[in-house]
């Protein structure tokens, strides 16, 4: 969708939905499998290279120090000198190749001599064509223009001297052998021989390229014989062995890599013991649990597949609950594990269905890992399953409509009582034992309250980290002292009043069809914040002159339709949650601004005006809440313009406007049904008839005259009183 928020997962936007789901499933499986492996692995030493040994560790059996042995053997093999053999054919092949190269070089030198003989006084340099012609004479070497110039300017005597010197020195060097890999040394030796009678420029520009091309080693490495000698030297080194009961590391000493290798060979390092059956069973069990969760989602809540990056919140909440529960179970008691933390976090952050899914999966996982960590299935394992399943479901039920921080703690206390009943039913707590009962009460309180406390602490962190829209966040955003709402109230009072009425309409409609009433109310508060940019161009904020009267209707349209984009920018700047940003963007869909369209048609003629130029950018509403907001916004603005509104006029106007939006296709991409639309219209009618109810016509009264009459009556009453006394 255009304008979608860039998150830490922005790199996945180009990936298909199926691939994203597969990647998330793989991530979830990997994380859970790692946790499982950490839980079921036997206890071992947790030390690494450079650590101070916490105790003296001895060898449980004779063991080879593989690292030290391998290093000593490799050093012995590397010390073996290569075995060489002489190739007697190399000298002849080098001589033949050198003759051929010098023949080509001689042709180039002669070409240069011919060209120079034809120079006049005004011409004293070779042309590009000359160099190209010279290069074509060379098939074995590639020389630069500078090298060609040196060769073409060389006198015949100097060239022949170079040829004789290099050829002779090469034969001498090959006679005394050239070792493989030492061609540069051979060239240096030849230079020392010919340097006294060879020009420096000819040596570097002609001789060295020629030698690099022609020269080859005639003392070659016998790879097979050399490798055989290296292998013999490698195998001749005796292994370094730690005998049984010999100290491997001593308490207080730094642990070396060699010692770590020995401990690993003995299986004394954490994570090195590998029971293939144990780990294969664990991997299969995790896969089956996740597959069951996937099937549950596909059958009962397929919409959860479209959660996007919020699925990471589920994973994080589940992992936190698993880790904390296992730690509590290991160091305290299984009954004190905060097993309902995942359910509490999920219902507060994402809703009931994700919470049920997560609670189900974590219940099975925690039960499985608890059994694996002890190696046996006991009543305590059944207790863990019951505590997670029953307690988690109870917390979801309690928090589904009241996610406030205080009620989270209250629900923790209620869950503690439920957990105690679960433990009594399972038989973990014995009613005839006061000590058992008190322990059960203590453990159930510890687990439930720990879950509640961590939920209260983690919820705002996760809200901020993932910019989630939660009931607590929405309540916070509905505070009139929020910066954007305060600006709206002060800078655009008309828009603010309009937003409040739209909020009432939208909330009533959302409640009527079972949509998120709080979300749509807060969305209505913020839907027109884009009008803060140019407030006086909107009718509800105008007093007196209307700037549109002096503006081209097409420009006016651009200004009006811009307020959705301005609203999105302001929402992003103030870090509003993504669902609110979407509602701001979608609250007009792609409806046309009919007033200015009609005005433009009147000015230019219908055939010269394209209605698409007068539409909002969209997109059309994608959710029920966004569609309700669009309808409420449309209805409020139009009903306000009805002269002398009555119940019948309001009802007719509402249904006409809603029908118009449907015919324009504005509701095509949301999930509203015809039944929902009927209920929405009825809710709108109820609210607006309360706003525009018929009022009593108050008569005009001359208050001053009435006051004077009252004073005269009071004076008359005062004069009558004394006479009555007589």
The DSSP secondary structure of 146-193, one letter per residue, reads HHHHHHHT--HHHHHHHHHHHHHHHHHHHHT--BTT-HHHHHHHHHHH
For the chain, the 3-state helix, strand and coil shares in percent, each to the nearest 5, are 70, 5, 25
Q: Quick: pLDDT tens for 46-56.
A: 777 888 888 88
Closest alpha carbon to 451 in 502, 393, 414, 409: 409
Quick one: pLDDT at residue 676?
93
| Omega before residue 619 within 30° of 0, cis | yes
Contact partners, residue 270, CB within 8 Å, separation at least 6: 41, 43, 44, 45, 46
455 shares its domain with 499: no
H or E stretch including 86?
strand 84-86
Dump the DSSP string for 265-288: HTT-BTT----HHHHHHHHHHHHH
Domain limits at 304?
10-38+275-468
Give the range among 106-115, 456-465, 591-600, 690-699 with minimum mean pLDDT: 690-699
Residue 333 located in a structural domain: yes
The structural domain count of the chain equals: 3
Judged by DSSP in three states, 52 sits in strand
In the predicted structure, residue 679 carries a pLDDT above the cut 90:
yes
Average pLDDT over the chain, rounded to whole?
81
Residue 339 located in a structural domain: yes
Judged by DSSP in three states, 57 sits in strand
Quick one: pLDDT at residue 6?
43
Residue 359: Cβ-neighbour burial (10 angstroms; 0-12, 13-18, 19+): buried
Quick one: pLDDT at residue 271?
63
Please report which confidence band the pLDDT of residue 421 belongs to, taking 50, 70 and 90 as the band edges. confident
Round to whole Å and give the CA distance between 107 and 154.
Answer: 12
Quick one: pLDDT at residue 7?
43
Q: 468, 492, 518: which is the final residue of a domain?
A: 468
Residue 672's CATH number: 1.10.3210
Residue 665 located in a structural domain: yes
Mean predicted confidence (pLDDT) in 580-584: 93
Closest alpha carbon to 28 in 277, 270, 289: 289
Residue 704 located in a structural domain: no
Residue 67 located in a structural domain: no
182 shares its domain with 297: no
Residue 83 located in a structural domain: no
Closest alpha carbon to 152 in 122, 168, 164, 144: 144
287 shares its domain with 347: yes
516 shares its domain with 642: yes
455 shares its domain with 530: no
In the predicted structure, residue 692 carries a pLDDT above the cut 60:
yes
361 shares its domain with 506: no
In the predicted structure, residue 726 carries a pLDDT above the cut 50:
no
454 shares its domain with 516: no
Mean predicted confidence (pLDDT) in 712-718: 70
Residue 575 located in a structural domain: yes
629 shares its domain with 523: yes
Mean predicted confidence (pLDDT) in 77-95: 85
- Tell me the sheet residues that pair with 58: 247
Contact partners, residue 190, CB within 8 Å, separation at least 6: 166, 169, 170, 173, 211
Dump the DSSP string for 120-135: -TT--S--HHHHHHHH
521 shares its domain with 628: yes
338 shares its domain with 445: yes
454 shares its domain with 542: no
In the predicted structure, residue 1 carries a pLDDT above the cut 60:
no
Q: 200, 215, 230: which is the final residue of a domain?
A: 215
In the predicted structure, residue 465 carries a pLDDT above the cut 90:
no
Residue 315 located in a structural domain: yes
442 shares its domain with 515: no
Is the pTM here over 0.85, yes or no? no
- Written in H, E and C, the secondary structure of 580-634 is HHHHHHHCCCCCECHHHHHHHHHHHCHHHCCHHHHECCCCCCCCHHHHHHHHHHH
């Amino acid at each position: 969708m255009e304008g979608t928020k860039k998150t830490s997962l922005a790199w996945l936007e180009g990936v298909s939905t199926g691939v994203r789901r597969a990647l998330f499933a793989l991530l979830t499986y990997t994380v859970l499998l790692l946790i499982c492996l950490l839980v079921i692995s036997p206890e071992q030493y947790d030390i690494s290279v450079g650590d101070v040994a916490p105790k003296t560790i001895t060898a449980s059996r004779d063991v080879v120090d593989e690292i030290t042995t391998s290093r000593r053997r490799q050093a012995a093999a590397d010390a073996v000198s290569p075995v060489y053999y002489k190739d007697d054919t190399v000298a002849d092949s080098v001589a033949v190749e050198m003759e051929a190269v010098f023949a080509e070089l001689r042709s180039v030198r002669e070409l240069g001599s011919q060209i120079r003989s034809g120079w006049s006084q005004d011409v004293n340099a070779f042309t590009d064509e000359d160099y190209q012609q010279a290069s074509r004479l060379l098939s074995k070497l590639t020389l630069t223009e500078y090298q060609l110039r040196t060769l073409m300017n060389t006198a015949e005597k100097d060239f022949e001297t170079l040829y004789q010197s290099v050829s002779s020195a090469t034969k001498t060097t090959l006679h005394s052998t050239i070792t493989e890999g030492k061609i540069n040394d051979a060239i240096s030796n030849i230079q020392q021989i010919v340097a006294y009678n060879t020009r420096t420029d000819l040596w570097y520009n002609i001789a060295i390229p020629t030698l690099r091309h022609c020269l080859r080693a005639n003392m070659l490495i016998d790879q097979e014989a050399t490798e055989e000698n290296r292998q013999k030297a490698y195998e001749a080194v005796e292994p370094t062995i730690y005998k049984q009961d010999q100290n491997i590391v001593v308490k207080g000493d730094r642990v070396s890599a060699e010692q770590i290798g020995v401990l690993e060979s003995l299986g004394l390092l954490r994570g090195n013991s590998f029971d293939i059956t144990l780990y294969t069973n664990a991997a299969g069990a995790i896969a089956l649990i996740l597959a069951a969760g996937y099937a549950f989602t596909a059958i009962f809540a397929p919409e959860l597949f479209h959660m996007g990056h919020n699925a990471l919140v589920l994973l994080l909440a589940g992992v936190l609950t698993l880790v904390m529960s296992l730690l509590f179970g290991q160091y305290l008691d299984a009954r004190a594990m905060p097993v309902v933390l995942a359910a509490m976090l999920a219902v507060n952050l994402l809703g009931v269905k994700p919470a049920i899914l997560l609670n189900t999966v974590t219940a099975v996982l925690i039960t499985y890992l608890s059994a694996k960590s002890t190696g046996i299935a006991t009543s305590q394992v059944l207790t863990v399953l019951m505590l997670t399943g029953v307690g988690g479901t109870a917390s979801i039920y309690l928090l589904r409509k009241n996610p406030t921080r205080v009620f989270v703690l209250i629900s923790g206390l209620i869950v503690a009582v439920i957990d105690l009943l679960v433990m009594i039913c399972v038989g973990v707590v014995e009613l005839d034992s006061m000590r058992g009962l008190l322990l059960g009460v203590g453990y159930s309180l510890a687990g439930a309250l720990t879950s509640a406390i961590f939920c209260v602490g983690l919820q705002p962190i996760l809200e901020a980290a993932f910019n989630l829209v939660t009931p607590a966040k929405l309540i916070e955003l509905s505070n009139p002292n929020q910066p954007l709402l305060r600006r709206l109230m002060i800078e655009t009072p008309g828009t603010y009043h309009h937003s409040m009425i739209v909020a009432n309409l939208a909330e009533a409609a959302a409640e009527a069809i079972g949509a998120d009433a709080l979300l749509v109310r807060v969305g209505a508060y913020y839907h027109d914040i884009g009008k803060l940019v140019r407030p006086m161009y909107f009718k509800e904020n105008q007093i007196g002159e209307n700037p549109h009267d002096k503006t081209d209707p097409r420009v006016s349209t651009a200004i009006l339709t811009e307020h959705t984009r301005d609203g999105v920018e302001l929402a992003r700047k103030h870090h509003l949650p993504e669902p609110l940003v979407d509602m701001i963007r979608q609250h007009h869909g792609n409806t046309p601004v009919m007033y200015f369209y009609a005005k433009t048609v009147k000015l230019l003629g219908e055939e010269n005006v394209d209605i698409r130029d007068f539409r909002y950018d969209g997109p059309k509403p994608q959710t029920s809440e966004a569609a309700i907001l669009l309808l409420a916004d449309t209805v409020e603005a139009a009903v306000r313009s009805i002269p002398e509104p009555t119940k019948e006029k309001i009802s007719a106007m509402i249904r006409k406007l809603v029908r118009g939006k449907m015919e324009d296709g504005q509701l095509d991409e949301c999930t509203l049904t015809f039944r929902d639309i009927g209920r929405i219209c009825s809710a709108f009618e109820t609210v607006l008839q309360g706003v525009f109810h018929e009022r009593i016509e108050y008569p005009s009264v001359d208050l001053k005259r009435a006051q004077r009459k009252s004073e005269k009556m009071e004076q008359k009453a005062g004069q009558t009183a004394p006479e009555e006394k007589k």
